[in-house]
Structure 1
Amino acid sequence: MMDCNKNLWIKIWNHPIVTYLKTQWFTFCLAIFIIIARFAPNFAANGGLIKAQYTIGYGAVAWIFLQSGISMKTSKLLVNMGNWRAHLVIFIMSFLITSSIIYGFCCAIKASNNHNIDEWVLVGLLVTATCPTTVASNVVLTTNAGGNELLSVCEVFLGNTLGAFITPALVQMYTRSGPFQFGNPAGAQGIAALYGRVMKQVGLTVFLPLLVGQLIQNFLPKISEAYLNFLKRYHIKIGTIMLLLVMFSSFSTAFKQGAFTSVPHVCIIFLCFFNFGVYVFFTGICFVFARPFFIPMLFPTEPIYGESSKTYYYSYKIFKPFYYCKRDSICIMFCGASKTAALGVSLITSQYANDNDNLGKLLVPLVLYQSQQVITASLFVPLLKKWCSDEQPDVVELQSREYDIENKLSKVEETATTNSMES
């Protein structure tokens, strides 16, 4: 009888529906954390019981990048840091395209004179669109989907460092005149103080842990290998757990500041549908930017120097690298469409320090967008992982090999030239 019950439970546990639900454990855990944040916001809010601005805002995020530093090869990290084409695409998408599209939507909504949509929520939506890519979720989701984790780490570091300067400038540009002039922070002192805080946060949560992880990997390989084997053996997903804590803290802070009670419920419902729609839309744009369909049509074959025309040869060299491999495309899709809440809260509170009455309304779009982007992206993960599974071998490793081969060939050519001159 016990064996029958045991076999029944095994059959239920391995059922396709149950298997799918197990893959969505992140969504269920996030729902539980949101409920806890609603009824006990002071526990994980900034300045709360556990001082989440330090324990989670610094500690949890730093752990994610410490683990990334331990697991990433230094040579591959340097190769991805020099991938300026991917950086350019993500920066244009993250800062310019998303913010300009959202500005157009906000102007249209403002012109409709719908009193259920608070005008300060629209300003918060606009400020959210100018924020850099998120700090933690990009690395975790890109890794889970089989994308280029190394490139994602580079985008997080570069994007958030530049975001400290670009985001306030974009906010000034969109609110200096026009329908959102009332939302211009115009706080030079707040913006100046923002730079110091952002540099401190990015340095302590991204750069320093990444550097320490690289040092451990290169000088203490046995320790790093034992740590990674331990996580793999017991299926411990540290990055995902830390990401849940970051979102738990963001929701707790929003509930503590009354962000969700300061605006009408209709406005909250509108934001949920709007955020979902624009995130999927931005992800689609990122995919089009990462893999333009016309590039393989224009350049079906690799040119041969001396046999192909010069126009085709140089056009191929210029434009073909903008058609990215699947692993890089996954990174671009996650990084280009996402917005940071860990850094975004500091960006908003620093710029609007004098508008405490509207601070909660300004934070609502950011907190909702962060949660919805992670939930939606987690649904994309199994699809993208399956799409990327046939791409072998590692493109980054191939690139580094190509660089080594080119260096060796140049040395051989130099040696041959020297020998011919001597003879």
Structure 2
Amino acid sequence: MRKPDPFLTALIGAVLLATVLPCKGNATRVLEYVTDACIMLMFFMQGIKLERRAIVHNMRNWKLQGLVLACTFLLFPLLGITLHTLAPGLLDSTTWLGVLFLCCLPSTVQSSIALTSLANGNVAASICAATLSNIVGIFVTPALVSGVLHTQGVWSAQAITDIAVQLLLPFVAGQLLQPVLHKWAHRNKKILSITDRSSILLVVYTAFSHAVVEGIWSKLDFKSIAALIATDAGLLLLVLLITLFLGKACRFPTPDEVSLILCGSKKSLASGVPMANVLFPASVAGFIILPLILYHQIQLFVCTLIARHYHAKHISDA
């Protein structure tokens, strides 16, 4: 039996800590400044780590890369809007915003690559797809959020400034310094991973502190959380089935099929949490990221099972 993922355990711990001891008063303002600095550091490091060469070398497989982007930024939003239209009363309005927000996010990087490797898939293509998805997401996600959620306020002057200062400029700076710092980042990737995850935990704690003060747990009972888990799981299942169908229809070799399924079905917690913090008021950010936190854990569990299935199939066919 596998041990629980330490990061997922810490993520739950951050939510529980915010529930029991939410940050209040002057401490909240200080924590918000620290959180903003952490977000900038995260996107700076992302700029250093995301290799442009990986994109250039694998863009020749344009059909696979195009389908991953289409699943990430077109299929997900369409499914989210459809589910909301068919069952608007399944979740409360703010929770639906969170579900629609996660539909607009880019794919993951680390877990997509790791699971593709476990499944004996096309690792190089997954590196390209995940990297390209995250670069595109910096520009596309805010526009999708504005369109899908009908929140024109997302494109307010202040929001555009926040996106530029906290997300875009640090990322561009990281890309510009990549030739100088990439080897250093590779040598210290374990330390940087801890830094990234600690930053995410801090942002989650801050967002949930606001949500607890706003009464998130009085508004979300057990039935509401169960409905949210079912919605997240149903969304993931639909995308997995569609990507599997697309891979078969395009007659992809098994390694490319694996890459499409495992990259096209993922949503990034590392990008989503700081983006929510930038795009939404502090009073609702905690509500917005709850569907993403749950989806993140569901996708890791289900996609690990899928990766193991492909791995076992590869061994049996060898």
Band of TM-score, shorter chain: 0.7 to 0.9
State the alpha-carbon separation in 2 of the partners of residues 54 and 336 from structure 1.
19
Q: Which of residues 54, 69, 72 is equivalent to 2:36?
A: 54
Task: Check conservation: 2:71, 2:265, Cα contact below 8 A.
Answer: no
Deviation at 1:79, TM superposition (A): 2.5
Q: Does residue 32 in structure 1 map to residue 2 in structure 2?
A: no
What 5-or-longer segments of structure 2 have no aligned partner?
118-122
Alignment equivalent of 1:377, drawn from 291, 299, 306: 299
In structure 1, how many angstroms separate the alpha carbons of the residues matched to 2:152 and 2:43?
Answer: 31
- 1:52 Cα deviation from its structure 2 partner: 3.5
- Partner of 2:239 in structure 1? 282
Q: Which has the higher helix share?
A: 2
Which AA in structure 2 matches 1:59?
L
After TM superposition, give the deviation of residue 338 of structure 1 in Å.
10
Aligned match of 2:219 in 233, 241, 263?
A: 263
Distance across 2 between alignment mates of 1:287 and 1:241: 35
**1:246 aligns to what?**
200
**Partners in 1 of 2:191 and 2:307 — Cα distance?**
17
Q: Which amino acid aligns with 1:30?
A: L
What amino acid does structure 2 have at the position aligned with 1:102? G
Asked if the contact 1:139–1:152 (Cα under 8 Å) also holds between the matched residues in 2, the reply is yes
Between the aligned partners of 2:239 and 2:168, the Cα distance in structure 1 is: 29
State the Cα RMSD in Å: 3.9
Contact 2:105 2:271 in 1 (8 A): yes
| 1:155, distance to aligned residue in structure 2 (A) | 1.0
Partners in 2 of 1:274 and 1:99 — Cα distance? 14
Residue pairs, 1:112-127, within 5 angstroms: 117-122=91-96, 124-125=97-98, 127=100
Instruction: Give the TM-score taking structure 1 as reference length.
Output: 0.58
Aligned partner of 2:138: which letter?
N
Give the equivalent residue in structure 2 for 1:272.
Answer: 229
Q: Structure 1 residues 330, 244: closer, same or farther in 2, change over 3 A?
A: farther
Instruction: For residues 194-219 of structure 1, give each alpha carbon's deviation from its aligned partner in whole angstroms, at most 9, with x where no partner exists.
Output: 333323333234332233223334xx
Q: Which has the higher relative contact order, 1 or 2, with Cα contacts under 8 A spaced 6 or more apart? A: 2
Report the CA distance shift for 1:381/1:262 in structure 2 as closer, same or farther (over 3 A): same
Structure 1 residues 23-422: aligned runs within 5 Å: 24-42=5-23, 47-49=29-31, 51-66=33-48, 68-69=49-50, 72=51, 75-80=53-58, 84-110=62-88, 117-122=91-96, 124-125=97-98, 127-128=100-101, 131-133=104-106, 138-145=108-115, 146=117, 147=123, 148-172=126-150, 185=151, 187=153, 190-217=155-182, 224=183, 228-229=186-187, 236=190, 238-239=192-193, 242-243=196-197, 245-257=199-211, 258=214, 260-261=216-217, 263-265=219-221, 266-289=223-246, 291=247, 293-296=248-251, 324=256, 326-327=258-259, 329-335=261-267, 340-349=272-281, 359-360=283-284, 363-364=286-287, 366-380=288-302, 382-383=304-305, 386=308, 387=310
Unaligned stretches of 5+ in structure 1? Answer: 1-16, 173-184, 218-223, 297-319, 350-355, 392-423
Give the secondary-structure state (helix, strand or coil) at the position aligned to 2:106: coil
- Residue 142 of structure 1 contacts residue 331 of structure 1 at CA under 8 Å; is this kept in 2? yes
Instruction: Summarize the Cα distance change of 1:271–1:150 in structure 2 as closer, same or farther, 3 Å threshold.
Output: same
Q: What amino acid sits opposite 2:279 in the alignment? A: L
Report the alpha carbon displacement of residue 376 of structure 1 after superposing the two structures with TM: 2.2
Q: Assess if the C-alpha contact under 8 Å between 2:54 and 2:127 holds in 1.
A: no
User: CA-to-partner distance for each residue in 1:222-259, whole Å, 9 max, x for gaps?
Assistant: xx27x63565xxxx364365235314412431332426
Whether the aligned pair in 2 keeps the contact of 1:283 and 1:336 (CA below 8 Å) is no
C-alpha displacement at 1:163, in angstroms? 2.2
User: Does the residue aligned with 2:149 lie in a helix, a strand or coil?
Assistant: helix
Query: CA separation of 1:286/1:237 partners in 2, compared to 1, >3 Å: closer, same or farther?
Result: farther
Change (3 A) 1:247 1:390: farther
Q: Is the 8 A contact 2:10 2:201 kept in 1?
A: no
Task: Write the distance in 1 (CA, Å) between the matches of 2:261 and 2:194.
Answer: 21
Alpha-carbon distance change, 252 to 294 in structure 1, aligned in 2, over 3 angstroms: same
Among all aligned residue pairs of Structure 1 and Structure 2, give the percentage whose two residues are the same amino acid.
10
Query: Cα distance, 1:129 vs. partner?
Result: 5.0
Q: Deviations over 1:271-296 (max 9, x none)?
A: 2332233234334433433x2x2333
- Answer yes or no: is the 8 Å Cα contact 1:38–1:252 preserved in 2: no
Deviation at 1:95, TM superposition (A): 3.4
3-state SS of paired residue (1:324): helix
